[in-house]
């Protein structure tokens, strides 16, 4: 897999779009045109998940994606760590001032913008290396909708209930090993 830094940026004002669908599709396009840095690719899955709290913010001291209030992911480049308590708004402004001149505006044709973006200079590579992963940052602006989290929990409970009911014998003392297997 190629490891090009993210070069996509979004206007911060557009992140608070009230239209959930257009935000959702923007995020899809953002992920499609964005690449991941190499440091972020070789992480075991369990480590990625352990590094985040319920709000999706990084809580790991030694690893984790770029996000406000967290330390830098790039362990080989600790000098570029952002202050832990950086304000979200200030961070967005910093990105906007720093980043590439290309901006993707939702709803507009992005093909030519994406092409120009890919041919940008190495200076943007260095800049992007020290800024939060933009697609992740954009995604964090619109959290997973609460109804979907509720759906996830309800579905998991339904599966567990089915599994338990399918294995319960008439005599409760004969509970099967599959359900009661313990370490």
CB of 136 to another protein, least distance (A): 5
- Encoded tokens for 52: 């985040």
Range 52-76 burial, b when 16+ CB lie within 10 A, else e: beeeeebebeebbbbbbbbbbbbee
Spatial neighbors of 7 by CB under 8 A, at least 6 apart, are 34, 99, 100, 102, 117, 118, 120, 124, 128, 134
CB of 128 to another protein, least distance (A): 17
Q: Is the dihedral of CA 84, 88, 94, 96 positive or negative?
A: positive
Output 13 or 182, the one with its CB closest to another protein: 182
Tell me if 102 sits within 8 A of 120, measured CB to CB.
Answer: yes
Output 100 or 136, the one with its CB closest to another protein: 136
User: Is residue 14 within a helix (H) or strand (E), and if so which, with residue range?
Assistant: none
Output 44 or 76, the one with its CB closest to another protein: 44
- Encoded tokens for 157: 């409970």
Which DSSP state fits 163?
H
Site residues, another protein (CB under 8 A): 1, 27-28, 31-33, 35-36, 44-46, 48-49, 52, 56, 65, 135-136, 139-140, 143-144, 148-149, 151-153, 155-160, 162-163, 166-167, 178-179, 181-183
CB of 181 to another protein, least distance (A): 6
CB of 158 to another protein, least distance (A): 7
CB of 125 to another protein, least distance (A): 18
Output 107 or 145, the one with its CB closest to another protein: 145
Output 79 or 88, the one with its CB closest to another protein: 88
């Amino acid at each position: 897999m190629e490891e090009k830094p993210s070069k996509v940026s979004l206007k911060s004002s557009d992140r608070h779009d009230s239209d959930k669908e257009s935000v959702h599709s923007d995020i899809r396009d953002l992920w499609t045109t964005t690449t991941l840095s190499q440091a972020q690719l070789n992480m075991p899955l369990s480590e990625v998940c352990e590094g985040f709290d319920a709000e999706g913010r990084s809580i790991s001291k030694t690893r984790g994606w770029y996000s406000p209030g967290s330390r830098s992911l790039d362990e080989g480049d600790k000098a570029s760590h952002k202050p832990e308590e950086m304000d979200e708004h200030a961070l967005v402004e910093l990105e906007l001032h720093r980043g590439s001149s290309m901006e993707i505006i939702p709803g507009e044709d992005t093909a030519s913008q994406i092409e120009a973006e890919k041919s940008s200079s190495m200076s943007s590579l260095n800049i992007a290396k020290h800024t939060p992963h933009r697609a992740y940052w954009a995604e964090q602006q619109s959290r997973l909708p609460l109804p979907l989290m509720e759906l996830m929990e309800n579905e998991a409970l339904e599966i567990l209930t089915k599994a338990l009911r399918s294995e319960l014998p008439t005599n409760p003392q004969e509970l099967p090993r599959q359900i009661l297997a313990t370490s």
